[in-house]
A and B are shown apart, each in its own frame.
Chain A
Amino acid sequence: MANVIGTSVLRREDSALITGKGKYTDDLQPARMTWAGIVRSPYAHARIRSIDTSKARAHPGVVAVFTGKDIVDSGVPGVIPTAWLLPDMKTPTHRVMAIDTVRYVGEAVAVVVAEDRYTARDAAELVEVDYQPLAVTVDPEKATEAGAPQLYEDVPNNVSFDWQWGDKSKTDEAFAGAAHKVAIRLRNNRLIPHAIEPRATLAEYDDAKGELTLTMTTQNPHVHRLLITLASLGIPEHKLRVKAPEVGGGFGSKIHHYADEAITGWCALQVKRPVKWTATRTEANLTDAHGRDHVTLAELALDAGGKVLGLRVHTWAAMGAYLCTFAPAVPTILYATLLSGQYDIPAIHARVLGVFTNTAPVDAYRGAGRPEATFVVERLMDRGALELGLDPAELRRRNFIAADRFPFQTAAGLLYDSGNYAPALEKALAMVGYDELRREQARRVPGARAGREKLLGVGLSSYIEACGLAPSQVAGALGAQAGLWESAKVRVHPTGVITVYTGSSGHGQGHETTFAQIVAGRLGVDMDKVEIVHGDTSQIQFGMGTYGSRSAAVGGSAIVATLDKIIAKGKKIAAHLLEAAEEDIDFADGAFKVKGVPGKERALGDVVLQSYLAHNLPADVEPGMEMTTFYNPSNFVFPFGTHVAVVEIDPETGEIELLRYVAVDDVGNVINPMIVDGQIHGGIAQGVGQALWEQAVYDEAGQLLTGEMLDYALPKAHNLVSYETARTVTPCPHNPLGVKGVGEAGAIASPAAVINAVVDALSPYGIQHIDMPATSEKIWRAIHSA
């Protein structure tokens, strides 16, 4: 049988999803189900004077109305936790439902449980809350200034943490002696993740068993269960089941534990009927954890020959009104550690302020810290090239970590296990026809300045990421309140069919196909005989879930390690049955074979059956064929690549068009090229969206002006192009598949590629930077004030 690993097997997930049979949370409708409608603060910062629920209670069809006080009075812990603790971090209490103060528009203040979807919303409108508005701050830099409104009495200047990384004195020295210094001030725009499926929770309480089941939009059911047990509802872990049915995209936004999930679960305990809550898009935009929102001052020191000597950043990172689940990690260890990029930079220092603002909480969104780092590094490289009069590709070449220097310890704290950066750059340049584009660009400039032609811009982004999150010990030392391993259980049934229980929890990535390929390839069995089960705490051993581009590298490795245990046990049994020594048994093509004796073999299925019959097993072998692994990786994985964006700008109108997008990625070995390409495509679209259109905007009063898709510009089909993708292959040296991660790469690389292209196009005007999103208006204004 041909090995299916490395081939574009079509997805087994598809048949249900293309026929409308896939079941997402909101599709479920158990008998006697009620609906929750959550009452949310219309103010960004206010004291709650009183809440009057009488009109809502009296409304026909209303089952119950509750406030935050009811939740506190019930005796549950009632807290939404953060699971990443930095040194000296200020962590104000985040209640499931506000009691006396609200700190962002959309914060929950009451909940209505009603007989149907519409009545729940009608009655939510009838809850009367008397607010006393307070002063508001929405900008992470301004919030730290003297006199800024304070969110918390005991958090001076709204600073949750003031975190430093790297060697300050060494970096200062590097700058002191540098021939060239460039500085740039950047905004990394606040984004709303926009999984097309809004968040939802269905809570069902079994009064007889005292068990609560939450079926919900989650990327990590066990983590959700643990946080709900420990912090929000206090239900013992073994009496709480969390299930992920089909999940309609996440991009990080469904990692975190949200108040709505706890509120819905708590309501089911009170009304003793199933309760469902599904976010409207406006609710989602108000309350999904947002991404990015940095203000950054960044500087690069170079010698006369273009060798980078040092890099320094100061970042104000918005945390929003409360610290979300993994929020403190995002602008710190997922950001500052990546500031070396693909380059040999001897001295790096970062200072990051985590700042409370009267906005939705900010947490991991596709890339989480690494797009922000890549944007800083790759914008600085272009600024450096401009300063030295070098081609941007040439400055990158001069600073790449050489291929023979791996493993490479960066000044930003990571040990890059492998890398080979120049070939990816050269391949991308060849694909895009770089030299020809540069000639065409120069040719157009006079015509463009005369208004007859469009400007052309070419932008590079040579990115790196650390993903496959990853090593538990390191994460623990850096503040994680959890390990970052992954689990797998493989059950080979007596008839030879196989069920794999994975702790990864896919939501569109094609895990059921990819993981089945791994099993089929390693065991030499047909893929149809392999079932992948995920996303249910009652079926699966504790798993960490899907985020941080970790499913193949960590979840897949856990499966491989478990298959190795199955093979090892099979060898013992086969040796016994074949009357051979265990070390003389090979496993290949789905059979245990005696080395050098053709035909003397037992098929895997036969050995498995014997393991269950147990009539004739070696003395030291238990019956059955089931193994479990908790795989703890020894390092992150480090995908890299170079992306090139080509844009055209009409200097008369500022209108910008993405003409081409070339992506050369090195994600190590590839299990399913079709799925890997699909992940790259989606990431590129999100990053291009960040660069050109997307932005969550709050006004001075803390009102979200982009609360619907009408106001928040998501990329659409006609805005984008067909992407030109290719790969180089540098396998990860420390996991059994040699795989890295691919889910976030596109979103990490593309914002810098696009903005570098925009600024490149505008270089004839002396324009040195355009903040994201680079809208036509911004470009037009920049041209006209140049």
Chain B
Amino acid sequence: MGIRIRVEVNGQPRESEVEPRLLLVHWLRDQLGLTGTNVGCETSLCGACTVWIDGKAVKSCTQLAVQVDGSAVRTIEGLASNGQLHPLQEAFHQEHGLQCGFCTPGMIMAGAALLQENPHPTEDEVRNALKGNICRCTGYHNIVKAVRRAAQGGA
């Protein structure tokens, strides 16, 4: 009953036999041990599970693992490169853009995707881009600052 999938995850080729109904987020978390990607709602509303599929931010709680066969997936664990944090990770730290940290991986993946498309977003553009990611701790104030700081830093 399993279906074989081959996926590049954080730059590494991974191969698994998965149940057709297995959600991408559960494949990442339960089978690959990549627990940085969190589940907050299972209905693609909170965005805690946001990862990149072929460079685009996608909510992994409403994707099946079999749908990413042949794709490249990047998770929060794979965002830093050569031991250097992504500028947005560093900006979240500098601007106190996180409290409990549960929404943070998804928030950073969504924010980093925004910065790839729009390197210099206005405050309104940041707020609109992040409306699919819910944070209950920060009131978004410092998250918005963090995204704008990363935009300036990476200019």
Contacts and interface: CB of A to CB of B under 8 A. Distances in A.
A681 B100 contact: no
Contacts of B127: 717-718, 720
A709 B41 contact: yes
A215 to B, nearest CB: 14
Given A118-B19, A118-B21, A251-B136, A17 B141 contact: no
B139 A720 contact: yes
A359 B131 CA distance: 30
B65 interface: no
Contacts of B89: 18-19
Contacts of A684: 139
A743 to B, nearest CB: 10
B136 A194 contact: yes
Interface stretch (A131-139, A158-166, A241-249, A323-331): A241-249
B3 interface: no
Contacts of A785: none
A21 B36 contact: yes
A28 B45 CA distance: 24
Interface in A648-693: 674-675, 677-678, 681-686
B141 to A, nearest CB: 4
A29 B33 CA distance: 9
B29 A281 contact: no
Given A708-B43, A709-B43, A722-B123, A196 B103 contact: yes
Interface string B138-152: 111111110000000
A408 interface: no
B9 interface: no
Majority-rule SS of B interface residues: loop
A281 B100 contact: no
A196 B46 CA distance: 8
Interface string A737-753: 00000000010000000
B67 interface: no
Interface string A247-266: 11101000000000000000
A22 interface: yes
A17 B138 contact: no
Interface string B111-148: 00000000000011011101101111111111111000
B12 interface: no
A43 to B, nearest CB: 23
A15 B89 CA distance: 9
Interface in B63-88: 75-77, 79-80, 85
B99 to A, nearest CB: 4
A362 to B, nearest CB: 19
Contact of A682 (B42, B92, B99, B104): B99
Contact of A20 (B26, B76, B99, B124): B76
A709 B49 CA distance: 15
A675 B137 CA distance: 12
B40 A281 contact: yes
Given A13-B101, A708-B45, A717-B126, A19 B139 contact: no
Interface-central residue, B37, B80, B102, B127, by most chain A CB under 10 Å: B102
Given A10-B94, A18-B93, A18-B108, A248 B138 contact: no
A439 interface: no
Interface-central residue, A17, A281, A723, by most chain B CB under 10 Å: A17
B141 A19 contact: no
Given A249-B137, A717-B127, A197 B45 contact: no
Given A18-B85, A709-B41, A714-B134, A117 B30 contact: yes
Contacts of A11: 93, 96
B38 interface: yes
B34 interface: yes
Given A19-B77, A280-B42, A709-B46, A196 B100 contact: yes
B85 A19 contact: yes
Interface residues of A, number: 58
Contact of A248 (B92, B101, B126, B143): B101
B128 A709 contact: no
Contact of A197 (B34, B96, B102): B102
A20 B102 CA distance: 9
A686 B104 contact: no
A23 B101 CA distance: 10
B93 A720 contact: no
B58 interface: no
Given A27-B35, A249-B102, A674 B85 contact: no
Nearest to B103: A196
A248 B101 CA distance: 7
A552 to B, nearest CB: 15
Contacts of B57: none
Contacts of A715: 139-140
Contacts of B38: 24, 26, 196-197, 248
B74 to A, nearest CB: 11
Contacts of A31: none
Contacts of A195: 100, 102, 136
7 contacts: A11-B96, A18-B92, A18-B105, A19-B80, A709-B41, A709-B134, A714-B136
Given A248-B103, A709-B41, 8 more contacts: A21-B77, A197-B40, A246-B101, A281-B42, A681-B139, A709-B46, A717-B128, A717-B140
Interface of A: 10-11, 13-24, 26-27, 29, 116-118, 194-198, 246-249, 251, 280-281, 507-510, 674-675, 677-678, 681-686, 708-710, 714-718, 720, 722-723, 746
Interface of B: 19, 21-22, 26, 29-30, 33-43, 45-46, 48, 75-77, 79-80, 85, 89, 92-94, 96, 98-105, 108, 123-124, 126-128, 130-131, 133-145
4 closest cross-chain pairs (CB), A and B: A20-B36, A248-B102, A508-B100, A17-B101
